[in-house]
Structure formats: C-alpha cells, structure tokens
Amino acid sequence: MEKVFLIGDNESLLTEISGMLKSGYEIMDQLDDTAEIIFELSGSGKDFKSKFINFIDEKNSKATVISSSLCMSVLEQSVNSKYPERITGAALYPTVSLAKGIEITGSRYTSREHLSLSRDLFEKAGKEVTEVKDRPGMIGMRIISLIINEAYLVLQEGTSVREDIDTAMKLGTNYPFGPIEWSEKIGVDIIYNILTAMSEEFGEDRYRITPLLREKYLETFRV
C-alpha cells in the first residue's frame, strides 16, 4: 500500500482528503523519506504555502507532491522548491469530495511522470480528471469565486437576503449549494485568496473583492 502524508493549515480539507484516500493508501502520521505521495493543503496565502513546500523538501526528496494550487500557481511554488519537477497542482478545497471531477495541473518544470501519478491517484479515488493550464483558480473555482463575489455584492446592496440568493441559485443552476452557503463551506479565506491571486495575475477590475466579502474574510481572524 502506497504511503501518503498530508500537511496543511485547513483542518476541514485535511480530514476530507484523508477520508477520501484511507481505504486505498497508508496515511502517515509523520513525514519522512519513505512517503511516496505528499499532499500540501494550505489555503491561507503564499507565505504559508512556501513554508510548507520548504518543510517537505527538507524531509523528503522523492515523493510526488500534490498541492492545492488555487491561490498560487505551481510555477510560483516551484521557484521555492529544490525539486520543482515533482510538484503538481490540484483544485483541492473543502467539499471537493462531493464533486465528480477534479482539475490537475503542472508547471513547465513538472515531469510527466509525477503528473501521471497524480492523475492515477484521483482516478483511483473515483474522480474524472481534467488537466488544465497552470493559472490561479484553475477553471471551476475561478468561476465559482466570481459568482460568490457577485452574490456578496447583491447581499451588500440589499437587493435580496442571503436565503433567497442561495435558493435562487440552487434552483436556477442546480448547484449543490447557494453561493453564500458555498463560500462558508469552502472557506471565505480560500475564496478571498483565489480572488486576490487572480487580481494579481490578470489585473482586471472584475476580480475586485466586494467590501462585504472582505469584511467576512477579516472576521475569520477574530479570536
């Protein structure tokens, strides 16, 4: 049974991915050089992710690293790694286990071997895998984040209450959750960081974060 180690600052996502893999993999409690696959599951910004990548490099030099690459491209992560060829990206976020498919990506440095190992793992977990370009937000979460941002603007303007916004979107699009509800399940911090990364990447006004969403993000740091 292949050995997998998970590291990150999002307890919800760590628990979810561990549950998704535990029947087919040995989940390690501590990282060492025997790990064959390492999940890096931070979502709180670039500084945390760089620290986790550096820690992984110190403890293990061979494993395939599958990183939650919604807020930071694989290329950006590779700049901080001693072994950039092994870093692959995946659209990993709380509630991802409910989705039928998953997006994966690699940078110009990612080897085909490591990307194929990432694909095999997710296919073994029952996901339909799509390879996409190495961009913040990838495809699905990029679009979902924009919808969530717009929903917070509608709420901020007083056009509707959150319950009606969520109901209208669920009935109109057949989404599993309404956008406000979904932001809370995924984590407002992840949505905020995806939008921030896209704004930095593309410099377009459509990625400007709604003030109410910014307030919700800041509230997540209150003790």
Residue 165: CB atoms within 10 A of its CB come to 20
Q: pLDDT per residue over 176-202, tens digit each?
A: 899 999 999 999 999 999 999 999 988
pLDDT score of 38 more than 60: yes
Cβ–Cβ < 8 Å for 208, 173 = no
Domain boundary at 109, 131, 153, which?
Answer: 131
- Same domain (yes/no): 155, 68: no
- Same domain (yes/no): 16, 73: yes
- Same domain (yes/no): 10, 100: yes
Cβ–Cβ < 8 Å for 107, 134 = yes
- Same domain (yes/no): 168, 145: yes
- Same domain (yes/no): 111, 161: no
- Same domain (yes/no): 18, 99: yes
- Same domain (yes/no): 150, 92: no
∠ CA 182-15-104 to the nearest 5 degrees? 70
Nearest to 71 by CA among 111, 44, 108, 106: 44
Cβ–Cβ < 8 Å for 28, 5 = yes
Segment (H or E) for 161:
none
- Same domain (yes/no): 156, 110: no
Cα–Cα distance between 13 and 90 in angstroms, integer? 13
pLDDT of residue 220: 78
What is the pTM (predicted TM-score) of this model? 0.91
Domain boundary at 131, 150, 173, which?
Answer: 131
Which is higher by pLDDT, 20 or 80?
20
Domain that holds residue 168: 140-219
Cα–Cα distance between 195 and 207 in angstroms, integer? 6
User: Dihedral, CA atoms, 169, 171, 175, 181, nearest 10 degrees?
Assistant: 50
Name which of 36-45, 87-96, 98-107 the model is least confident about: 36-45
Cα–Cα distance between 84 and 44 in angstroms, integer? 21
Domain count, the chain: 2
Percent of the chain with pLDDT over 70: 98
- Same domain (yes/no): 67, 127: yes
pLDDT score of 1 more than 90: no
Q: pLDDT per residue over 155-174, tens digit each?
A: 999 999 999 999 999 998 88
pLDDT score of 139 more than 80: yes
pLDDT score of 49 more than 90: no
In CATH, what number is assigned to the domain containing residue 123? 3.40.50.720
pLDDT score of 222 more than 70: no
pLDDT score of 99 more than 70: yes
Burial of 221 (0-12, 13-18, 19+ CB in 10 A): exposed
Cα–Cα distance between 119 and 104 in angstroms, integer? 7
- Same domain (yes/no): 44, 62: yes
- Same domain (yes/no): 73, 123: yes
Q: What SS3 string covers 119-153?
A: HHHHHHCCCEEEECCCCCCCCHHHHHHHHHHHHHH
pLDDT score of 223 more than 60: no
Average pLDDT, the chain: 93
- Same domain (yes/no): 75, 154: no
Domain boundary at 103, 131, 159, which?
Answer: 131
Average pLDDT over residues 98-108: 95
In CATH, what number is assigned to the domain containing residue 173? 1.10.1040.50
Residue 73 — very low, low, confident or very high, per pLDDT cuts 50/70/90?
A: very high
pLDDT score of 44 more than 70: no
pLDDT score of 43 more than 80: no
